[in-house]
Amino acid sequence: MLAGAGLRPIVVDEAERPGGQIYRQPPVGGARESSKIYGFDAKKAEAIHRVLHDGGNRIDYRPRTLVWNVFGRRLDLLAPEGQSELTFGRLVLATGAMDRVLPFPGWTLPGVFTLGGAQIALKAQGVAIGGRVALVGAGPLLPLVAHQYAKAGVSIVAALDATTFAAKRAQLFGLLASTDTFATR
């Protein structure tokens, strides 16, 4: 969007490859079909990867770079080449998606993962958290992770949505209005 408006944004990314938390790419050599990783958003994910990878002179993309300090109008960076500073006129922070976890008895036991952690293992490392998986959660990440794990060949023994019935009922019209909701691919 910024590049389209004639600006040349600098994108500082801790990851080795573009995509962020949602459209995280698997490691080089560990790729599967985009549709199996990103589901219905495969084309969008591919477009995001392409724009940042092939941005050329329109986007200054800096992978494997950590912002470790912001002071005034200066960023302190750490990259494979070493430490550096970057001054800026405007700053947009996109800190990534995160799990919201409520502790419950057993949540720190081996084999218990957050939905986001399970998704990152599958997308970033190309491994599932197990061959038979039960998923529990609330919100849109649950069916997405279940879909991604099923596409990866994992046996989903349960996908339990903890969302209240009232919350589901309140979202029913939006669910039915979406043409992709009931699509099968």
Would you say residue 79 has pLDDT above 90? yes
Highest mean predicted confidence (pLDDT) among 130-134, 148-152, 162-166, 174-178: 130-134
pLDDT of residue 5: 87
Would you say residue 100 has pLDDT above 80? no
Mean predicted confidence (pLDDT) in 62-89: 95
Point out which residues pair with 74 in neighbouring strands: 71, 87
Residue type, 128: A
Tokens found for residue 129: 């958290």
Q: Phi/psi at 103 (nearest 5 deg)?
A: -60, 145
At residue 179 the predicted structure's pLDDT band, cuts being 50, 70 and 90, is: low
Mean predicted confidence (pLDDT) in 174-185: 65
Who contacts 118 (Cβ-Cβ below 8 Å, separation ≥6)?
128, 129, 133, 135, 145, 149
pLDDT of residue 55: 61
Residue type, 172: L
Going by C-alpha positions, the residue among 22, 17, 13, 20 that lies closest to residue 119 is 22
What's the pLDDT tens digit per position in 102-159? 888 998 999 999 998 998 888 877 889 999 999 998 888 888 899 889 988 999 999 9
pLDDT of residue 182: 57
CA distance 18 to 43: 15
Contact 20, 12 (CB under 8 A): no
Q: At what angle do helices 115-124 and 141-151 cross, to 10 degrees?
A: 40
Of 6-10, 50-54, 62-66, the least confident: 50-54
Would you say residue 65 has pLDDT above 90? yes
pLDDT of residue 56: 66
